[in-house]
Amino acid sequence: MCNIRGTHYLGYAVTLTETNYTQTVVILTPIRNAEKSLETFQTQIMNLSYPHNLISVFFGEYGSTDKTFAKALNISQDLKRFGSFRDSRVINLQMSGGIYGSDDFRHKVLGYQKYRRSHLEAVRNRLVRYALQNGAFDQVLWIDSDVEEFPTDLVR
């Protein structure tokens, strides 16, 4: 077992030592037609072990043809009300474009990938610009709504 900057390593198991956290974090999540993955996403965010009063969660939506915006709005209210998160908002990004279709279609058609990726990066950039203009954060973390599982100590 060794100790590297307060973190104990034993084989592949990592145990974080208790720390008095002070840094504020904003989680940025672009969403479009993400209705189906939002519930799992909410559960995972709620389960984060980092102090919720230091975490803000901003969703950046545009162009959904399902109930993504309304659902994200409910989640943002729940995060504040029941999860004691510092802040949570759903931002209307006003950015049309991107590639629509099934996961398979969007991810596999080679000719679309450069355009699809550059659109997504522009979306992420607009979201971070909004966040930095509307709050003061020590750390920024992008997590996509379709990441089905992440460790509860991800932010720590």
Ligand X SMILES: Nc1nc2c(ncn2[C@@H]2O[C@H](COP(=O)(O)OP(=O)(O)O)[C@@H](O)[C@H]2O)c(=O)[nH]1
Q: Catalog residues that contact Mg ion under the rule CB under 5 A.
A: 144, 146
Residue 33 C-beta: closest distance to ligand X, Å: 7
CA 61 – CA 91 distance, rounded (Å): 6
The conformational region for residue 10 under phi > 0 = left, psi -120 to 50 = alpha, else beta, is beta
The residue (of 51 and 76) whose beta carbon lies closer to ligand X is 76
Amino acid identity of residue 18, one-letter, is E
Rule CB under 6 A: is residue 123 a binding residue for ligand X? yes
CA 156 – CA 135 distance, rounded (Å): 21
The residue (of 61 and 87) whose beta carbon lies closer to ligand X is 61
| List of residues contacting ligand X (CB under 6 A) | 29-32, 34, 60-63, 93, 98, 106-107, 119-120, 123, 144-146
